Amino acid sequence: MFFPSDWNIIAILFYSVFGVFAILLGFLDYFELLAMRYSKFRTEKGVLSRFGMFVLYFLRVIITATIFALHYLASASLTQWLVYAAILVHFGKRTYEVLFLHKYSGPMQPFTFVIIVITYALIAGLISALNVQAVATMDALFIVGIVFVVIGEIGNSIITNYWPICENRRRLSHSARRLV
């Protein structure tokens, strides 16, 4: 499942480029040789954060849905549909958050934007490409994985998005009442 059963030139190139990219990026970031300049509070010029984050997340939906998954979806198994749905729900939720929830105040450095786009595209593409050779039946580990995905998505929605927004609104409402 993790490696293609037929090692053709495309598979070899994909795994080679992805592996070198992951190792190089990790090395450069760890030793701070590559400054990833992304902050909501930057005042420099660059890619508008809302646009940049929209591209980052929505591109995953496009890559997952069209490039890698379309050729097997017509005859997909339940396992493949679940993995495909998990990817779409995750990045669809992220796209929604970018468009309607998050507030941005500074741009992203173009180089950082490109690196993040390439990384996310490779990860989403890899998951979708691996899903072509999905396991024949769902075992206990797969079910545990799906449960963790669901818990993670719900927890992320509550803890990092909706709870802080509610807290800020409550605080603002309380402050406004004190002013009256």
How far does the chain reach from its first CA to its final CA, in angstroms?
64
Predicted TM-score (pTM) above 0.95: no
Per-residue pLDDT tens over the stretch 47-59? 788 888 888 888 8
CB 124 within 8 A of CB 57: no
Find, among 128, 125, 140, 150, the residue nearest to 83 by Cα: 128
* pLDDT score at 6: 65
User: What residues of the chain score a pLDDT lower than 50?
Assistant: 1, 40-41, 180
Measured distance CA(89)–CA(32) in Å, rounded: 33
* pLDDT score at 35: 62
Number of C-alpha atoms within 13 angstroms, CB side, residue 125?
14
Q: How far, CA to CA in Å, does 34 sit from each of 24, 45, 174?
A: 10, 18, 44
- Provide the 8-state DSSP code for 41: T
* pLDDT score at 141: 82
Q: How far, CA to CA in Å, does 144 sit from each of 57, 87, 107, 148?
A: 25, 16, 39, 6
Number of C-beta neighbours around residue 61 at 10 A: 17
